[in-house]
Structure formats: structure tokens, C-alpha cells
Amino acid sequence: MNERLDSPTLTIDLAALSANWRLLAAKAGPAQCAAAVKADAYGIGLEPAVGALAKAGCTTFFVAHCSEGVKARTALRAAGHNGRIYILNGGPLSAPMAELYLRFGLQPVLNSVAELQFWRTITATTHNPPAAALHFNTGMNRLGFDKSDEINLDGVPFDLVMSHFVSAECPEDADNQSQIAAFTEIVTRFPGVTASLANSSGIFLPANPHFDMVRPGYALYGGNPLPGSSNPMQPVVQLDVPVLQIRTIEAGARVGYNGQWTAQRRTRLATLSLGYADGFPRIAGHVDTAPDHRAQALIAGVLCPFVGRTSMDLTVLDITAVDPAAIELGSRAQILGRHITIDDLAERSGTIGYQILTSLGARFTRHYTPAPVH
């Protein structure tokens, strides 16, 4: 038996990642296209993602935490690139943390007057400190300066003004227009400074609110920035998992913890090496009793529904529709890939593709398909 036979395999297509970045950069041009690589580049791996994106031409990266910024800087250097790295969750809150910002050239996204004041105490005693970004709240009400804040920027170099969309994936939502209007007014206070508002879906809004820089994340990794329309992005992630056991049960038998699914007929089942500990949704097999709306896997060319509750390390597929000769122990079922999108799995599991991606399991065997050499 192949030593990897029992392990789910995650294949990450770095060429598709690069192609997605180029598509978004072309769509947003002449605005520059940055990349959101927080949360381990949405689960696909920060280091390979940053390397591939830098090679494709991306020079600006956004992460959430300082520790992610340190990793991104290390990855960029290893790939032989410079680049700007902004820390979305804010400026340093202590002197030791500030030391990391300075040492790794990390640019704080200042979200409040308190952060601005602390950062000024750092910049006042530092030669050539990294430039900050100023984040304005235009409706999300999580982070950012409010309109009424008194902002004193003396002694604080900054090179970016930004805000963030609340509902860019819903083009008809009135919030989009009001946020674009509010942000347009804010940027007039900062002539000559790079301005950035759009995330993935924001890039596709009819108003083209690209300003000087766009900050896609989800679409880079293959997520659909246009829910309900066909996805312009290439899939980046493919997940294949092995069959561990096959059995037939009679009508009336139930499957999994708490017997959440009952066979209505004689049913062939395949038990897969995949569980909620791998980030697979616990309710994928019973979110809806309608068989055509449960999450699916592709096996031997046939889309088959999951049945019953996902366990920690196992889940069960109804393979009655597949020719028995076509599946054996160790056969692989595709969970995500060309035929099953992250948006589809998410929709059938009561969540969003962002959560599917960022939950991709730590114990998968990972393969990276390299980005093309230019």
C-alpha cells in the first residue's frame, strides 16, 4: 500500500493563482492589484502563495496579524522580492511588537486615534519608519477612523488611505454606493496618496470603484466574486480523499452519529478519510434532507451525495449510483476541484467559501503545482 493512500491530498495550483491575479490586475488596471494573503493565504499556504504572486508581479500584500507579516516578509525575501506588507489589524500595541514592524518593514494599517498616537511615539524616534495606511470606517463598523475623529498626522509618514466594502458581493445593495460616495469624499482630503476600497467582489461592481489600488483575496484563490453568475476565476484548490471501506445497507438503516440519515432503499456506501477535523463541514451530509441539495463528491465520474453527520475523521458517501466495479478501496473521491467548487460545497453546507478555504486541514498531504516560469 502506498504510504499516502490513507491521506487526503490537497493540490494547490499556483499557476491558476498567478492567472487569477493577472485577470484581476487587468480588470482593475490602471489601478494596481495587491493581494490579501491573511490567514495563511486563505488556507492555501502563505509562503508558496506570496512567492507565486510576487513572481506574477504583485508588489503589495495585506495580512491581518503582525506574525503573518513577519512570515510574508520572510517568504518575499526568500523569493528574491521586495514588496509592501500592510498589517490590517492595526499598528503595534507595545514596544516589542513595534520592534517587529520596524525590523521586518511592516506597514501598520492605523484604525484608530489611539493606534495613531502610539505609532507616532515609535516614528518620532525612528529613522525612516515604514509608512502607515489610514483605514476609514465607511459602514462596516469594525475598525477604522470615523468621520468625526481628529486625526493629527504630524510626524507619521503614510502612503495609503483605505476603507472596506460591507456587501460588495451583492451589487444591488445600496451600501455600495453610499460607501463609494463616503470614500470618494475622504480621499479628497489626501491628494496624491494611494487610495484603495475594493476587495474581490468590489472589483466587479458596475461603478468600477478601483481608485488607485484593489485588494482581492477570495477571487485569487478561485472563489467566485460574482455569486449567482458564472465564476471568472480558475479553481486553485483540489481536494481528493481515499475510500477506506465500502458496504451496502438495507432500507431503514441509519448512518453516522445520532443516525441523522436514514436509507430509503438498499444503499451502497463509501466511507471516506475526511472529517470535520480536516475542516469539512459537520452538516454537509444532512444540511437539507433533499438528496439533491446535500454536499457532493465526485467519484468514478459520478456526483454522489454525502449522508449523515460528518465525524471527526470520517464521512460517508452514498455511491449507489456508481457502477460497483468502478470503485475499490483506495479509490479517490474529489471533494473540491474542477467539478465541485468551494462556493458549491459552502452553499450546500450552510457556510461561505471563505470559511471552507480557511479551514482546509493541516493534516492533508499538500502538493503545489508550480507557477509557470517567465
**Per CB under 6 A, does 164 bind ligand PLP?**
yes
Residue (of 238, 244, 240, 239) closest to 330 by Cα position: 244
CB nearer ligand PLP, residue 69 or residue 217: 217
The reply to whether 217 sits near ligand PLP by the rule CB under 6 A is yes
Q: Contact between 348 and ligand PLP (CB under 6 A)?
A: no
Cβ–Cβ under 8 Å, residues 7 and 366: no
Output the residue with the shortest Cβ distance to ligand PLP: 217
Dihedral sign (CA 213, 219, 224, 230):
positive
The single residue listed with the C-alpha cell 506588507 is 85
| Least spacing, CB of residue 110 vs ligand PLP, in Å | 13
Calpha distance 157→152 (Å, rounded): 11
Least distance in angstroms from the C-beta of 215 to ligand PLP:
4
137 binds ligand PLP (CB under 6 A): no
| Residue 83 binds ligand PLP, judged by CB under 6 A | no
Tell me whether residue 36 or residue 241 sits nearer to ligand PLP (CB atom): 36
Q: Please, what is the Cα angle at 5 between 360 and 245, to 5 degrees?
A: 95
84 binds ligand PLP (CB under 6 A): no
Active-site residue flag, 27? no
Interaction of residue 119 with ligand PLP, rule CB under 6 A:
no
**Subset of residues 277 to 336 that bind ligand PLP, contact rule: CB under 6 A:** none
Would you state the cell numbers that stand for residue 349, as one nine-digit string? 453546507
Q: Please tell me the distance from the alpha carbon of residue 145 to that of residue 187, in angstroms, as a whole number.
A: 13
Q: Provide, rounded to whole angstroms, the least separation between the CB of residue 64 and ligand PLP.
A: 7
170 closest CA partner among 223, 209, 228:
228
We find the least distance from the C-beta atom of residue 25 to ligand PLP, in angstroms, to be 14
- From the CB of 216, what's the least distance to ligand PLP, in Å? 4
Binding to ligand PLP (CB under 6 A) within 256-285 occurs at: none
296: number of Cβ within 10 Å: 24
CB of 49 to ligand PLP, least distance (A): 13
Query: 10 Å Cβ neighbour count for 338?
Result: 10
Tell whether residue 36 is a contact of ligand PLP (CB under 6 A). Answer: yes
Radius of gyration of the chain (CA): 23
Beta strands in 211-361 (DSSP E): 213-214, 237-249, 254-255, 261-262, 267-272, 296-299, 302-307, 315-318, 332-336
88 binds ligand PLP (CB under 6 A): yes
Q: How far is the CB of 55 from ligand PLP (least distance, A)?
A: 20
Choice between 197 and 295, CB closer to ligand PLP: 197
Size of the site for ligand PLP (CB under 6 A): 11
**Given 27, 42, 257, 368, which residue is catalytic?**
257
Distance CA 275, CA 359 (A): 12
Residue of 216, 279, 337, 353 interacting with ligand PLP (CB under 6 A): 216
Indicate whether 218 belongs to the interface with ligand PLP (CB under 6 A).
yes
* 199 near ligand PLP (CB under 6 A): yes
User: Of 38, 71, 86, 218, which residue is the catalytic one?
Assistant: 38
Q: Quick check: 144 binds ligand PLP (CB under 6 A)? A: no
Task: Residue 189: count other Cβ atoms within 10 Å of its Cβ.
Answer: 11
Q: Among this protein's residues, is 354 annotated catalytic?
A: no
What is the pairing mode between strands 106-110 and 132-135?
parallel
Q: Are 12 and 368 in contact (CB under 8 A)?
A: yes
Residues that bind ligand PLP (CB under 6 A): 36, 38, 88, 164, 199-200, 215-219
Residues designated as active site: 38, 257
